[in-house]
Chains A and B, each alone.
Chain A
Amino acid sequence: MSPPRGTRRIRANRIPRPLLVPAVLGVALLILPLAGLLIRTPWSHLGAELRSAAAVQALWLSLWTATCATAISVIIGVPLAWILARREFAGRRLLRALVILPLVLPPVVGGVALLLAFGRNGVLGHWLYNSFGFSLPFTPAAVILAQTFVAMPFLIVAVEGALRSSTGELESAAETLGAQPWQVFLRVSLPLIAPSLAAGAVLCWARALGEFGATITFAGSFPGRTQTMPIAVYYALENDPAAAIALSLVLLVVSLCVLVGLRDSWFPVGSGLQDRGVRT
């Protein structure tokens, strides 16, 4: 439609129409619901909604369980990621696929699986119950386990990716200089991957905070014990929509903070193409 009037550079920066229309739809689809949430937020009594005992209880439970799940993920996920990235062994690809499966597995399926493994009648849970009289479901520990199951793969993928993209030359050098493998990991590998580890941990924490399907299936829902924020939102929608919106807003704000915090280390903005177009 428009004649080729501008310089070559300007045309290079234009968006072709067949791409623009779907892109606009994409913008609408992703941003409108958030706008809807903001528009319907009961701003006048937002404070009261958020100070209500139920909201505080759910928020507190979510915060501490997600933090525990992240801590567990770091403690056992980093070594696992290191082994997957740095060692060759039979079945490594299969192990890697299984370990990150929860990334794509529907969380509720994860919940059913957890119940069948760690439930009172589960493969492992049965033994736990018979030996120690301890049953995991419906406890905050079950919430943490469900969150760890779903969120740890995010951390593993981040750390493994960082380890793979570093060549390992520094590690080799350290080994040549006589460092023990454990020292190499602690003094060389770990500092190298620290930024990715931090990003992975934040992503893991955010995923744990938002966990719903596996949690409600495996841990059930009881206020103050297993009813996390997302479950509280889901329940509140049925009898107190204003509370549901207020709780949702909190989760939205937390998610935004996470994204802003991660912006540079995890989602590199503009891989250079756009900048180069303007600069040259």
Chain B
Amino acid sequence: MTIRRRTISIGAAMALSAVGLAAVGLAGCATSNQSPSQSPSQSPTQSLSPTAAKPAALSGTITVFAASSLKETFTKLGAAFEAANPGTKILFSFAASSGLATQITSGAPADVFAAASTTTMTTVVSAGLASSPVTFAKNTMEIAVPPTNPAGIAALADLSQSGVKVALCQVAVPCGSTAAKVFKAAKLTVSAVTLEPDVKSVLGKVELGEVDAGVVYVTDVLAAGSKVLGITIPSSVNATTAYPIAALSGSTNPALAQAFLAYVTSADGQAVLTAAGFAGP
């Protein structure tokens, strides 16, 4: 009897204290990860206005959630920003905008969100996690084919031929919905062999030659260099997507978040984006 009772009480104690202990444990790990990056002198009042953030005052680390298609440009912008502001560190998480938006609304610790469509940004804004996003670039679609162009793709209409293997983004992702607009405008039915999770996965399947064509952004074809061949989509049917950027209300370093946002929209930032093939806002 004694033995049995004791065993039960141990089990019950384990179950009951599990919740509390886990919460404490996880919170402890989370804070210890973040705290060293923050400047102790930073006060929330000075951070709200971007003009007040003098370069010398900036320090610490921010995490920027950015659309896959911004990988090359934002990596470059981040490095340039860090060089101009010693003591700062810009970390990036590149993925499909829709996935990033889900992560943010689920509480992922991020400071800035740069999306590849206003729709994905809206989900974050309407969740109250960001306000007044600014459009900083625009992008259009292009067909990417392997350098050998195995299916002899010459025009958009070729994608609807049977036997042509086409990779697209899944429709929840901005590159997928924008490609769908292109097909609708051109009155084409394109049956893809695969709907990839983000634009870089589409590009990867094209680069490996596993598909005959992929519909990606103009900037992706440019960034891929000689690894793919670009086939222009006529502007009469091409669709445009706007890239909004916003600082997130949950940011632990709003001063740095605003400063990076200001840098992206500055003339210097715009020059990098334009060189990569993005259109101005």
Quick check: B14 and A121 within 8 Å, CB to CB?
A: no
B99 touches A238 (CB 8 A): yes
Interface centre among A21, A29, A227, A238 (most CB of B within 10 A): A238
Contact string, A27-41, partner B, CB cutoff 8 A, digits 1/0?
111011000000000
- Does B267 count as interface, using CB distance less than 8 angstroms? no
Chain A residue with minimal CB distance to B193? A138
8 Å CB interface, A13-57 against B: 13-15, 20-21, 23-25, 27-29, 31-32
| Chain A residues positioned under 8 Å from B22 (CB to CB) | 25, 28-29, 32
Residues of chain A at interface, number, CB under 8 A:
38
**Which parts of B35-77 form the interface with A (CB within 8 Å)?**
none
Number of interface residues of B (CB under 8 A): 35
Q: A160 CA to B165 CA in the complex, in Å? A: 42
Given A13-B6, A21-B21: A120 in contact with B209 (beta carbons within 8 A): yes
Query: Are B210 and A115 closer than 8 Å at their CB atoms?
Result: yes
Residues of A within 8 A of B197 (CB): 216, 221, 234-235
Q: Nearest Cβ distance between residue B174 and chain A, in whole angstroms?
A: 11
Considering the complex, give the chain B residue whose CB is closest to the CB of A120.
B210
Select from chain B the residue with minimum beta-carbon distance to A126. Answer: B209
Kindly supply a per-residue 1/0 record for chain B positions 97-111, scoring 1 wherever the CB is within 8 Å of any chain A CB and 0 otherwise. Answer: 011011000000000
Q: A210 at the A/B interface (Cβ < 8 Å)?
A: no
Residue of B nearest to A244 (CB): B102
**Within the assembled complex, what's the spacing in Å between the Cα atoms of A28 and B96?**
31
The distance in angstroms between the C-alpha atoms of A226 and B208, with both chains bound, is 19
- The answer to the question of B227 belonging to the interface, with a C-beta cut-off of 8 Å to chain A, is no
Shortest CB-to-CB span from B49 to chain A, Å, is 34
| Residue of B whose beta carbon sits closest to that of A218 | B210
B2 sits at the interface (CB 8 A): yes
B164 smallest CB distance to A (angstroms): 12
Prevailing SS type, chain A contact patch: helix
Contacts of B3 in A (CB 8 A): 9-10, 13, 278
> What residues of A have a CB within 8 angstroms of the CB of B10 in the complex?
14-15, 20
Chain B residues within an 8 Å CB radius of A222:
192-195
Q: Chain A residues with Cβ under 8 A from B6's Cβ?
A: 10, 13-14
Given contacts A25-B21, A28-B21, A222-B195, contact A239 B209 (CB under 8 A): no
- Contacts A137-B210, A138-B194, A220-B193 given; does A27 touch B2 at CB 8 Å: no
Interface positions of B from 222 to 261, Cβ below 8 Å from A: none
Query: Does A6 sit at the interface, judged by CB under 8 A?
Result: yes
Residues 1-20 of chain B: 1 if any A CB is under 8 Å from the residue's CB, otherwise 0? 01100110010011101110
Q: Which A residues are closer than 8 A to B by beta carbons? A: 6, 9-10, 13-15, 20-21, 23-25, 27-29, 31-32, 115, 119-121, 135, 137-138, 216, 219-223, 226-227, 234-235, 237-239, 241, 278
